[in-house]
Amino acid sequence: MRFVLALVLCFACVPAFADRYVTRVRTSAAEDAEHMARTGRFAHRGTCGCREGIGYGSTPEQALANCCYWGRYAVREKGVARGANGRYYAVVRYHD
């Protein structure tokens, strides 16, 4: 009985510590790119908790190539959107 109680107490504490090590993504890269395109504001939204690059350009390819860390890390997720000003906004998230 004590063993079972000890197990229950151990596993009850796991969620309290799990948040420190789990990356929670609130929005996708595509959603963040669409947000930049919609608002015209070129900035990180801080929603992924991971290594992220943002860029803009006159073509989707140029916007991706202008993202920080492009070509240096493995891509986990990317998104590109066209703004009302004709520019393309890109967000790329990388594996750590």
pLDDT at 22: 45
Residue 11 has pLDDT above 60, yes or no: no
pTM (2 decimals)? 0.71
Q: Which tens digits make up the pLDDT trace of 45-79?
A: 876 778 999 999 999 999 999 999 999 999 999 99
Residue bearing tokens 């079972």: 4
Domain count within the chain: 1
Residue at 9 is within a domain:
no
Helical ranges in 2-91 per DSSP H: 2-18, 29-39, 60-65
Range of the domain at 54: 27-94
Residue at 1 is within a domain:
no
Which of the pair, 1 or 31, is modelled with greater confidence?
31
User: Which amino acid makes up residue 47?
Assistant: T
